[in-house]
Amino acid sequence: MHGSLVHPWRRYVALGDSFTEGIGDVDPNSPGGYRGWADRVAEQLSSSVNDFAYANLAIRGRLITQIFDEQAGPALELKPDLISLCAGGNDVIRPGGDPDAIADKLDSLVRVLATSGATILLFNGPDIRDTPVLGGIRGKVAIYNENVRTIAARYDAVVADMWSLRELHQPQMWAADRLHFSPLGHQTIAAMALDALNVPHELEQAKPGEVKSKNWREARREDFIWARTHLAPWVLRRIRHQSSGDGITAKRPLAVPFSDNVPGQSMGTGPSGE
């Protein structure tokens, strides 16, 4: 598909946590040092209209209440006509996280965002059946996803359906931390989101290479390195009530033309989250 056909949107604002910030998709030329699916979507949307503007308010580690408190107001002030929202994932993965109670918070957030009259793009969670670490909460994710669909229908939102994106079952779609997506994963999700919006685009569906089979010893060694490098710091932050997003503010806080976003991490003080 080609980006020459015009779409109806001129101001796109992305809300959420690390997923929307783009963690896992390292790019020194992007603001904050990460690209991500939302930047890829904005780049495609901006290619077919001259007056397109984009802001990304997402910050890693944010819980759904924090996204509501910190991002909803600024998002509405930017007067968007397209809003993307992926929220609740950090809540669902927490021990005792109730997917129905979390969905009630999502409903309240979407209700506020809907007052803008903007098109709202809601993401559900991926099917994490075969994913290390996260596979044990697959049932909670499925319940939350059904709630997301109900909320989307209530507010006439578009659903970006990650659960049905079978490509995400492939290990190459995930970053080394096994919690975020790789550049290939982000590109695959961006293409799916544009398809959900019925926007022609130029993102090719990348084909992952063959995964070399590992013997038991190699697999255990990788698990040990992962636990030391990624799991231990994650657990330690929880114990200390710290967040990976502490001290970080939005990488693209203003709605400006996509090409006008200047690389560089925006730093500030933020409340503790994930």
pLDDT tens string 51-60: 999 999 999 9
Instruction: Classify residue 274: in a domain, yes or no.
Output: no
> 175-180: long-range contacts at Cβ-Cβ below 8 A with a sequence spacing of 24 or more?
175/23, 175/24, 176/226, 176/229, 176/230, 177/24, 177/226, 177/229, 177/230, 178/131, 178/132, 178/133, 178/134, 178/226, 178/230, 179/133, 179/134, 179/230, 179/234, 180/18, 180/19, 180/23, 180/24
What is the arithmetic mean of pLDDT over 23-32? 93
Who has greater pLDDT, 20 or 222?
Answer: 20
pLDDT in tens, 124-134: 999 988 765 66
Q: What confidence score (pLDDT) does residue 176 get?
A: 81
Q: Which residue has the tokens 């290479």?
A: 209
Q: Given strand 119-123, what is the order of strands in its sheet?
A: 158-160, 119-123, 82-86, 11-16, 53-56, 252-256
Is 135 within 8 Å of 170 (Cβ atoms)?
no
Domain that holds residue 249: 11-204+216-259
Q: What is the pLDDT of residue 274?
A: 44
* Digit-coded pLDDT (tens) for 82-105: 999 999 998 998 888 999 999 999
Question: Quick one: pLDDT at residue 93?
Answer: 84
Q: What is the average per-residue pLDDT within 259-266?
A: 50
Query: Does 4 reside within a domain?
Result: no
Q: Are 199 and 45 in contact (CB under 8 A)?
A: yes
**Domain presence at residue 211:** no
**pLDDT given for residue 177 in this prediction:** 81
Domain assignment present for 155 = yes
Query: Which of the two residues, 248 and 238, has the higher pLDDT score?
Result: 248
pLDDT at 117: 98
The answer to whether position 1 is within a domain reads no
| Whether residue 2 has pLDDT greater than 80 | no
Q: What is the pLDDT of residue 186?
A: 97
How far does the chain reach from its first CA to its final CA, in angstroms?
A: 38
The pLDDT assigned to 136 comes to: 78
Q: How many domains is the chain partitioned into structurally? A: 1
What is the model's pLDDT at position 265? 37
pLDDT class of 69 with cuts at 50, 70, 90: very high
Its sign, for the CA torsion 17, 27, 11, 189, is negative
Confidence of residue 243 (pLDDT cuts 50, 70, 90): low
Task: Answer whether residue 273 is part of any domain.
Answer: no
pLDDT at 11 > cutoff 50: yes
**Is residue 209, in this structure, part of any structural domain at all?**
no
What's residue 225's pLDDT? 58
135-174: pLDDT as tens digits:
678 999 999 999 999 999 999 999 999 999 999 988 899 8
Q: Domain with 66 in it: what CATH number?
A: 3.40.50.1110
Query: Distance between CA atoms of 179 and 273, rounded to whole angstroms?
Result: 16
Percent over 90 (pLDDT), the chain: 62
- pLDDT of residue 241 exceeding 80: no
269 within a domain of the structure (yes/no): no
pLDDT of residue 3: 40
Whole-number Å distance between alpha carbons of 241 and 249: 18
As a whole number of angstroms, the distance between CA 141 and CA 91 comes to 11
- Is the pLDDT confidence value at 4 over 50? no
The one-letter code for the residue type at 36 is G
